[in-house]
Structure 1
C-alpha cells in the first residue's frame, strides 16, 4: 500500500531539503563551474558567473567594468584604486595591496570566488597560497594586442557576459585591422625607427612586450627588435648610437596622466628627457618628435587609442582621417558610460 502525499507538502519538503543542502554554500559554490584556459595555458575551474571578484590586474579590472560587472569586484590592487578612472565604480572594493605582491591574508578575508592576476608578474608563491586555500586564480594578460581578443573572450565566458565581450572585441579589432592594413605595404626602409621607453628610464620595449606589439601594429621599426628580452635595460651610449627618428615614453604611476588628470607631469618629463646628456644629437629630439603616452592607452584594453596616436605621429598623411580623441571618446561612452576628460598624450 503506497502513501499518497499532498503535492503542496511534497514541494515544501523539497524546498526545506534544498535549503539545508545549500545553506552553507556561497552563491558561487551553488553556481555551475566551468573549466577555462588562461593566458598562461593553465587549466582552471571557476564558478560561472562569480559573485565576488578580487583583481590584482588593472587591465582585467577595466574589462570587468566594461562588460558590466564592476559591482562584483570586492577587492582590488592599490594601483587600481588610486586610478581616477575607477573611482566612481569601485567604491566598495577593498585594497589588497600591490598588483604583483598582494596580501594573501587580505584577499582571503574577502572570501572571493576568483582572483584575476597578471600571468608573468603575480608571484608564484602567492598563487600557490591562494589555490591551497581553495580560491581559483586566473592569469589573464589583457594587455597584449595579439591575444587581446582571446583574453576578452575567456573573461566573457567566466562572467557569462559573452555578448558584451563580443561587442568589445569587434570594436577593438576594427581599429587594429585598420592600422595593420594601411601600413602593411610600407617598405621596411621607409618606416620610422622608434625608441619606445617603458615606465622606467632607459628600459626598452623588446620582443614579447606589449609595447613591441603596439609598434609592430602601426608599422614602426622598433630599435629593440633585435634584442633577446622583453624589457632590456639599455645604456645611454647605445641609444645615442641608434639615433631613433621618434621617441615615445610610456607614462606610469610616477608620471601623472590619464583620466581626470592634467598634462603638467608629462610636459615636465618630456622637457627633462630632451635635456638628457647627448640627446640633442638624436634626430627625434632635434625634430621635436618626442611624445608622452599615458599608461591608460599604452597596451591594455584601450591600446587601440594609443595605436591611433602612434599612427598619427609616425604617418600623419596616411592617417589624416583618424581622430584618436574621437575614438577614445566613443570607447569611453560606449563601454563605460564616461565622458572623455584628462591628459593622455603630450604634446
Structure 2
C-alpha cells in the first residue's frame, strides 16, 4: 500500500468535499485567467505540501508550473493542453519543449508568469520561497506548492492534482500502478534480516552529498531492502568526505545524475558511461567492495525521486537483490507508464549499466 495520508491531507479532502457539496466557498481574489463574474461555487480550497490553505478556481484552464515533477503528473493525467508556462529546465514529456519558459524553478520571473495569465501556479513544496508566493498571490494568482517526488507524499500530491484538474479517475489509475509495484517490492523486502540487506552509498546530484533520514532517497533504499550507510547523519542531505566513503566500504554504490549528464528520455548511454568511469576512478575507490564487484550504478533524475520513481525503486530492488527480484523487469514497468499515461515508447538511457 502507498503511505497513509497525513491529517493535513484528510482535513484538506474534507474541506474540498464540503465546498463541492455545499455549493459555496470562501471568497477570494480573482486570478487573471478566471472568467469575470465567476461564482464563488467554482472555487476549491486545498491544503498544499507547504501546509498553506489555497483557493483554486474551478475549472482550471491555464496553468504555469515551475515544478517539473508536477508538470509531468499534469501531463500524465491528460492536462498538457492546460499548461501555458514552464520552468527553464522542464524537458519531459517532450511536448513541453514548445511551452513558454518563465525562468528557473526556484527563481522564476514573476513578470513572465503574470503575462501568461494563469489561473494557478504550481511550485515545489519543500523549496517554496515566501517572497515568491507573496509576489504571485499579490498579482491575484493562487500558488499551490506540491512535491510529486517523495514516495511518502506521492499519493496525496497526485490526488490533489486530480481534484484541481477534475481528473480524479486518471489520478486513481496512475496511483493504482504505483501501488501495484510499490506493494510488490515492500512485500518482498519487509522480512529481510539486517545481514541480508546490502550496505549502500547513495550519492545525490552533487558529488559526495548523500542522503539520510527525511530524504526521498533514504526512503527508496529502505523500501528496496538496503541499509543506508549515512542513515545516522543528522541532516537529510549530508555532505561527506571521499575518505568517509572509502572507510565505510559499501556493498553497492548508486549515483543520481543531474541534467549536467545527458540521461533520460531520448539520451544515448555515452555520457552516463563516462560519468560511471569517473566515479569508480576516484582516489582510493578501487579498494571499495562495490567497485571491486562491479556494483556501481547510475540513475537518471527522471526516475529517481520523481513521478516515475516507481521505475527507480524497481531498479533499486533489482540492483540490491537480483535473485529475489529475478522476475521484476524495471523496463516493463517504465514502458507501462510511458505508453499508458504519455503515449510514448520507451527510449533513452535511464540507468547505467542496465543490469
* TM-score, length basis structure 1: 0.90
Matched, 1:34 2:44: yes
Aligned to 1:283: 289
Rounded to whole Å, the distance in 2 between the matches of 1:307 and 1:333 is 19
Matched, 1:301 2:307: yes
Q: CA RMSD in A?
A: 1.6
User: Which of 188, 194, 200 is residue 194 of structure 1 equivalent to?
Assistant: 200
Give CA-to-partner distance per residue, 1:46-82, whole Å, 9 cap, x none: 01221110001111000000000101110100110xx
Deviation, structure 1 residue 25? 7.6
Question: What runs of 5+ residues in structure 1 fail to find an aligned partner?
Answer: 1-21
Aligned to 2:21: none
Matched, 1:236 2:242: yes
Aligned to 2:55: 45
Deviation, structure 1 residue 29? 6.9
Rounded to whole Å, the distance in 1 between the matches of 2:103 and 2:128 is 12
Matched, 1:56 2:62: no
Whether the aligned pair in 2 keeps the contact of 1:27 and 1:51 (CA below 8 Å) is no
Rounded to whole Å, the distance in 2 between the matches of 1:25 and 1:300 is 29
Matched, 1:346 2:334: no
Q: Secondary structure at the match of 1:273?
A: helix
Aligned to 2:95: 88
User: Which of 266, 269, 274 is residue 268 of structure 1 equivalent to?
Assistant: 274
Q: Secondary structure at the match of 2:95?
A: coil
Highest CA radius of gyration, 1 or 2? 1
Whether the aligned pair in 2 keeps the contact of 1:257 and 1:343 (CA below 8 Å) is yes
| 1:120-131 → structure 2 map (5 Å cutoff) | 120-131=126-137
Give CA-to-partner distance per residue, 1:172-204, whole Å, 9 cap, x none: 111111100000110012200111100011000
Aligned to 1:212: 218
- Which of structure 1's runs of 4+ aligned residues deviate more than 2 A? 24-31, 85-91
User: Which of 182, 192, 216 is residue 188 of structure 2 equivalent to?
Assistant: 182
Rounded to whole Å, the distance in 2 between the matches of 1:202 and 1:49 is 45
- Distance change in 2, residues 1:38/1:307 (3 Å): same
Q: Secondary structure at the match of 2:173?
A: helix
Give CA-to-partner distance per residue, 1:97-147, whole Å, 9 cap, x none: 101111111111111111101112232211111112211111100100111
Aligned to 1:337: 343
Aligned to 2:6: none
User: Which of 140, 158, 161 is residue 152 of structure 1 equivalent to?
Assistant: 158
Whether the aligned pair in 2 keeps the contact of 1:205 and 1:231 (CA below 8 Å) is yes
Q: Secondary structure at the match of 2:94?
A: coil
Rounded to whole Å, the distance in 1 between the matches of 2:36 and 2:214 is 36
| 1:125-140 → structure 2 map (5 Å cutoff) | 125-140=131-146
Give CA-to-partner distance per residue, 1:22-58, whole Å, 9 cap, x none: 9x98349737101011112211110122111000111
Whether the aligned pair in 1 keeps the contact of 2:93 and 2:342 (CA below 8 Å) is no
- Distance change in 2, residues 1:145/1:102 (3 Å): same
Deviation, structure 1 residue 150? 1.0
- Give the number of aligned pairs: 321
Question: What runs of 5+ residues in structure 2 fail to find an aligned partner?
Answer: 1-29
Aligned to 1:66: 76
Matched, 1:99 2:105: yes
Rounded to whole Å, the distance in 1 between the matches of 2:289 and 2:252 is 8
